[in-house]
Amino acid sequence: MRVLVVDDHPMWRDGVARDLAEAGFAVVGTAGDGVQALRVVAATRPQVVLLDLNLPGLSGAELIARMRRPSLRVLVLSASGERRDVLDAVTAGATGYLVKSARLEELVAAVRATAAGEAVFTPGLAGLVLGEYRKLAAGPAPDTPRLTARETEVLRLVAKGLTYPQIAERLVLSPRTVQNHVHNTLTKLQLRNKAQLVRYALEEGIE
54-101 confidence digits (pLDDT tens): 888 888 888 998 898 888 999 999 998 887 888 888 888 888 899 999
Fold type of domain 2-122: Rossmann fold (3.40.50)
CATH value of 130-204 in 3.30.70.100, 3.20.20.100, 1.10.10.10, 3.40.50.300: 1.10.10.10
- The residue with greater pLDDT, 129 or 173, is 173
- Please give the model's pTM, rounded to 2 decimal places: 0.65
Q: Where are the domains of the chain?
A: 2-122, 130-204
Radius of gyration of the chain (CA): 17
Backbone angles phi, psi at 47, to 5 degrees: -85, -35
At residue 199's C-alpha, the angle toward residues 166 and 104, to 5°, is 50
The β-bridge partners of 76 are 51, 97
Average pLDDT score over residue span 27-50? 95
**At residue 172, does pLDDT exceed 80?**
yes
- pLDDT recorded at residue 58: 81
Element containing residue 200 per DSSP (H, E) = helix 194-204
